[in-house]
Amino acid sequence: MTNTYLSDNAIVVEKLGKRYSIGRRRGTDDGMRHAIEQAVRSPLSWFRQRREEKQRGKEFWALRDVSFSIKSGEVVGIIGRNGAGKSTLLKLLSRITEPTEGRIRISGRIASLLEVGTGFHQELTGRENIFLNGAILGMSRTEIIRKFDEIVAFSEVEEFLDTPVKRYSSGMYVRLAFAVAAHLDPEILIVDEVLAVGDAGFQKKCMGKINDIAANQKRTVVFVSHSMSAIRSLCSRVVLMEHGRVVSTGDVDSMTSRYLEATVRSCTDHSEGAHVIFKAPIDAENERDFLLTKFELVDVRGEPKPKVSTWDAVAFRIHFYSRHQFQSGAVEFQVRTLDGVPVLRFSTQPDCKIDIRFDSGHQWIDCMVAELPLAAGHYVIAGGLTVPDVKYLCWSNEIGILEVHPKDVFSSGLPPSTGRALVASKNVWKSNNIASRKLG
């Protein structure tokens, strides 16, 4: 590859692959002494356990044969369903982990915001982490000091600047992490879905900053999001991924439309029945401390509800797994449009002031809705677990697709649909010329 080709591109990825060994349960290996004792006491069970562990520890290719390039100054979105390999790709681009095969060529200094507080030292204060991140990016102390006030002002955490970041809320974490990544003059900015954790005002400010970096500063931006509205507003080109491979690259409209159509097709084909919106892989809890394991629709009696329509009574049943115990936790989920616009939000805290105790193991909880106000159409479910004063234990922006079937709730011959409005509310009309008439 010539230097000219690399100079025209900020990032060049060639036949990239990343392989993991999956299925090994953490915390089950107590060392050589335990293994020897077990082998002596029960040789048959020891060999059986080792055979099972070997079978569980199979290889998994998170990425395979991935190739693409990104020009300097380009804003490129990377989209795909959960498990498509987006986060793995960003970790490789950010040099957090090394590829199993292939190579990456990068021209310029990279700043990454992949997870809440990535690159932060938990015991250091916000102030110290600003200087640490700047040093990691190769900036001099003078350069960091010049940008310091701007970073603090953007993050809005001045009051807690000298507090260890391990005591920050998830919102404070994100604000400071993004401010550092965006203001320390990177040639390439890599941003993952982490911005979804911030509030609406902060998200808007971040989008404005990314626009400024791309349009005015002519920097390269790699942006991963499940929000198609954010992808459409920020990006000039999109890379679509499936099952660890690049399916296609192209203009924003065609790639996002293709992604949404594929998402609806895959999520509405339920092997366990139409009431199951999401089910995690069988061995997923082996790899995670906290996990949403299943999301399904049930009726008021707790029986599976294979079909839900506008104004139906329905309960959303959330199954989750926790490796650890917490006396006080919360469950939250959102109903969004296919392009990521929030429509409904349900949470045990702070909305309903209900504390959930997270025991070690599997649990479930029902969120009961007396009359589902959604118009007919397809919606994305997002959700996660949290505990007080701690960032999200787990969060997914794409648990699955909720299909709401049409129902003529107004007896008008025209069932509410997303083509006219997202919600259908019961309403009463009054006028000095006509009698009142209750609809529905």
The pLDDT tens digits of the residues spanning 88-129 come to 999 899 888 899 999 999 998 888 877 655 667 888 999 999
Confidence of residue 30 (pLDDT cuts 50, 70, 90): very low
Residue 274, H or E segment? none
Q: By CB neighbour count within 10 A (0-12 exposed, 13-18 middle, 19+ buried), where does 103 fall? A: exposed
| Alpha-helix runs per DSSP H in 158-308 | 170-183, 200-215, 228-234, 252-267
259-288 average pLDDT score: 67
Q: Summarize pLDDT for 306-364 with one digit per residue, the tens.
A: 899 999 999 999 998 888 888 888 898 999 888 778 899 998 988 888 888 888 888 99
Q: Can you say whether the dihedral through the CA atoms of 368, 294, 382, 195 is positive or negative? A: positive
Confidence of residue 67 (pLDDT cuts 50, 70, 90): very high
Q: What is the pLDDT of residue 428?
A: 80
Domain boundaries defined on the chain: 24-57, 61-264, 276-405
> Is 276-405 a CATH 3.30.70.520 domain?
no
Under CATH, to which class is 61-264 assigned?
alpha beta
Residue 195 has pLDDT above 70, yes or no: no
Say what angle helices 43-56 and 32-41 make with each other, to 10 degrees. Answer: 130
Tell me how long the chain is: 440
Q: What percent of the chain has pLDDT over 90?
A: 28
Q: What is the pLDDT of residue 314?
A: 95
Spatial CB neighbours of 76, under 8 Å, sequence gap ≥ 6? 70, 221, 222, 223, 235, 236, 237, 238, 239
Flag whether the pTM goes above 0.85.
no
Which letter does DSSP use for residue 24 in this model? Answer: P
Instruction: Tell me which of 253 and 52 has the higher pLDDT.
Output: 253
Q: Are 416 and 387 in contact (CB under 8 A)?
A: no
Q: What is the pLDDT of residue 399?
A: 83
Spatial CB neighbours of 436, under 8 Å, sequence gap ≥ 6? 428, 429, 430
List the Cα angle 199/97/1 in 5-degree steps. Answer: 110
Spatial CB neighbours of 321, under 8 Å, sequence gap ≥ 6? 285, 288, 290, 291, 293, 361, 362, 363
Q: How would you classify residue 203: left for phi > 0, otherwise alpha for psi between -120 and 50, otherwise beta?
A: alpha
Q: Are 341 and 333 in contact (CB under 8 A)?
A: no
* Cα gap 221→191, rounded to integer Å: 8
284-313 average pLDDT score: 85
